[in-house]
Amino acid sequence: MGCCCCKSNSKIIAAAWGFRKLSVEDYFKSVSKLGIYGLELHIDAKETKNSLDSTNPEEEAKKAKELSTKYCVSISSIAIGNDFTLENDSDIAKQIENVKRAIDLADMLNTRIIRIFAGFIEKSKITESTYKKVWDSFNIVGKYAENKNVTLCIENHGGITANGDDCLKVLKGIKSKAVAINFDPANFYFYGEDPLKGLRKVAKYVKYAHWKDVKKVNGKLEYCAFGEGVIDWPPIIKELSKNGYSGYYSIEYETFEDVERGTLSSLNKLKELGIK
């Protein structure tokens, strides 16, 4: 979704998390000021201010479309914070309904990519029952997404999706072609997987990507701006290209205090590496 003045052919967009303390309008304004013409928008993220409410879809969609036109920034993707590894079936049922509402709102916005999670269970607590819950949930929301022409991209985010093999096991039980992978190289590195090796395992499923880096501070890993950490990026970008990736490069600089600086630095580094 975009407006006539947007440079909508650009694949570089802004991810929502780093801008979480801004209102929805201030988020659009900040991204526009940085010269980025697309963004990822939170839905139902209670811990963030830059989030739409799926229980009031018509009004929220209208507001977001108006801001998109006002600031010449397209709504390129949606981010939701679901958890399909919860213990109680009733809680998972609520998660499924929340995702369906988010799919409806994405469709109203003519936005076809949703960043989604499998769940946040600790790795030591995962059982085969956990996988069944995740598979059943994704088969339900995946079928719903297919009918709306929306793709649900599971982020590799530790726990049940810590590395490439974990992601493949999650995908193994999902029948819907509307479910794919949101490739986050820094998350692979943070949770102990070489991001290039992880990518090679899941490359054919990647339909979306988050871009940040990782650095070591006092012996501990911390996220940082793309190109300011330890990850070797050219082989990763080459591998993505080799596998025909044509999706967004969503800059996810996570520290709010200097989010504009970190996002701009990431933008410039992506351009240096040939991403437009």
Domain of 152, CATH number, reads 3.20.20.150
* pLDDT for 190 beyond 90: yes
Q: Is the pLDDT of residue 1 over 50?
A: no
pLDDT of residue 71: 98
Quote helix, strand, coil % in the chain, to nearest 5: 45, 20, 35
In a domain, 7, yes or no: no
Q: Residue 252 belongs to what domain range? A: 12-272
Indicate whether 2 belongs to any domain. Answer: no
Do the beta carbons of residue 6 and residue 74 sit within 8 Å? yes
pLDDT at 9: 84
- Contact of 154 with 117, CB cutoff 8 Å: yes
Residue 193 lies in a domain: yes
User: How confident is the model at residue 6, as a pLDDT?
Assistant: 56
Give the pLDDT confidence score for residue 8 in this predicted structure: 58
Whether 227 shows a pLDDT value over 80: the answer reads yes
**Secondary structure of residue 26 in the 3-state scheme:** helix
Residues 270-274: what's their mean pLDDT? Answer: 97
Give the total number of structural domains in the chain.
1
Query: Residue 79 falls within a domain, yes or no?
Result: yes
Beta bridge mates, 195: none
* 212, 216, 222, 227 alpha-carbon torsion, rounded to 10°: -10
Is residue 1 one of the residues assigned to a domain? Answer: no
Mean pLDDT score, 13-41: 98
Tell me if 4 is assigned to some domain: no
In a domain, 124, yes or no: yes
Measured in degrees and rounded to the nearest 5, phi and psi for residue 116 equal -135, 165
Give the pair of three-digit tokens for residue 201: 């395992």
34 pLDDT more than 90: yes
Q: Does 261 map to a domain? A: yes
In the chain, beta strands by DSSP E? 12-14, 38-43, 51-52, 74-79, 113-116, 151-155, 179-183, 206-211, 213-217, 220-224, 249-251
